[in-house]
Amino acid sequence: MLGRLLRDDRKVGLLFLIPGVAALLFTYVVPLLYSLGLSLADWDIRRPGSQWAFAGLDNYLEVLTSDAFWEAGGRSLVYTLVALPVQLVLGTLVALLLTDERINGKLSALTRVLLLIPLMLPPVVLGILWRLLLNVNYGPTNHLLGLVGIEPLTWVSAPDTAMMAVIMVEVISNTCVVAMILIGGILSLPVEPLRAAEVDGAGPLRILFEIKLPQLASYYLIIILIRLMDLLKTFDFIYALTGGGPGEATLVLNLYIYRVGQRFLDYPLASAASWIFLIILLPLSIWLLLRAVSSSREYLND
């Protein structure tokens, strides 16, 4: 009986899928359905004995008509759309710098290893660390900038500069990701076309823009996909760095939803907000998915 079962590939396949599918079921399907139900309910956890009551789209309407949600959405948009291009450009420059032949090979190899540090730093620690560095009174950043004649900045302690500071920290830590992936790409480029271009008398800029970068197009696509996904999910380091403040200056959507849920305990509203967030993300997600799946068509067996 068991012997027969173990000889049938498809039955064994089902057996192998059980743990994974069960995990997906319990950690995605059930919670998402629960959250969908919650978003359509009227329920207050703070009132003892409160029961779910069907509320239709009330919560959705409340979210959609609240300024706070749209402001948070706007901040997420600004955060993502500023951080992404800046780290792409900086990451490219760092990658080019660390693969430049004029720089001592050992030194650039060492620096490549050091790029791991900002990359692997726990996001909470990243937040904490920059809290110390950017401290207006006792932090070294303002002092060091003062040495080169720059006036002290308020960084994360004033609403008008906080978002800029958050983006700066994000850029510093994730420029390293971009750089590391691109370094891998640059080092795997064939050298002959570069040599040929040199022999043909092309200048360094022409070689860069017409030969090197075009060959890295697929790397940029992957980087953009991955960074976009992660930027839209960012929570940890902003939580530790500013907690969304001061006021609401750095309250991006993820923190907004968290605050509505865990601070104000309005779970139905938070659920509705996260579903709206998901639905807005959907076109982007599907586009990302199709790219990922089409690039891995051969990975599938059917």
- Which one among 57, 109, 145, 229 touches other proteins, defined by CB under 8 A? 229
Instruction: State the Cα–Cα distance between residues 134 and 156, nearest whole angstrom.
Output: 7
The amino acid at residue 195 is R
* 255-288 as b/e: b if 16+ CB within 10 A: bbbbbbbeeeebbbbbbbbbbbbeeeeeeeeeeb
Nearest distance, CB of residue 77 and other proteins, angstroms: 14
Site for other proteins in 178-197 (CB under 8 A): 180-181, 184-185
User: Are the C-beta atoms of 171 and 83 separated by less than 8 Å?
Assistant: yes
The HSE-up count of residue 225 (CA atoms within 13 Å, CB side) is 17
Exactly one of 85, 86, 124, 197 binds other proteins (CB under 8 A); that residue is: 124
Of the candidates 1, 7, 67, 191, which one interacts with other proteins according to CB under 8 A? 7
Query: Exactly one of 63, 115, 165, 251 binds other proteins (CB under 8 A); which one?
Result: 115
The token pair at 245 is: 């403040």
Packing angle, helices 159-188 and 67-98, rounded to 10: 40
* Shortest distance, position 270 Cβ to other proteins, whole Å: 5
- How many residues contact other proteins, by CB under 8 A? 103
Q: Residue 107, interface with other proteins (CB under 8 A)?
A: yes
By the 10 Å C-beta count (0-12 exposed, 13-18 middle, 19+ buried), 301 is classed as exposed
Restricting to residues 233-292, name those near other proteins by CB under 8 A: 233, 235-236, 239-240, 243, 253-254, 257-258, 261-262, 267, 270-271, 274-275, 277-278, 281, 285, 288-289, 292
Task: Determine, following the binding rule CB under 8 A, whether residue 149 of this chain makes contact with other proteins.
Answer: no
* Alpha-carbon distances of 71 from 68, 162, 233, rounded to whole Å: 5, 15, 17
Q: Report which of 189, 195, 32 is spatially closest to residue 95, judged by C-alpha positions.
A: 189
Residue whose CB is less far from other proteins, 163 or 275:
275
Which of 60, 79, 130, 155 is the binder for other proteins (CB under 8 A)? Answer: 130
Q: Is 30 in the site for other proteins (CB under 8 A)?
A: yes
For residue 247, with 0-12 CB atoms within 10 Å meaning exposed, 13-18 middle and 19 or more buried, which class applies? exposed
- Which letter, b or e, does each residue of 151-171 get, where b requires 16 or more Cβ atoms within 10 Å of its Cβ? eebbbbbeeebbbbbbbbbbb
Per CB under 8 A, the list member of 55, 66, 71, 111 interacting with other proteins is 111
Shortest spacing between CB 92 and other proteins, in angstroms: 13
> Candidates 21-29, 53-61, 64-72, 206-214 — which segment interacts with other proteins by CB under 8 A?
21-29
Residue 56 binds other proteins, judged by CB under 8 A: no
In this complex, which beta carbon is closest to other proteins, that of residue 55 or of residue 226?
226
Q: How far is the CB of 223 from other proteins (least distance, A)?
A: 8
Identify which range of 63-71, 115-123, 153-161, 206-214 contacts other proteins by CB under 8 A: 115-123
**Minimal distance, residue 129 CB to other proteins, in Å:** 5
**Per residue in 129-141, is it b (16+ CB within 10 Å) or e — as a string?**
bbbeebeeeebeb
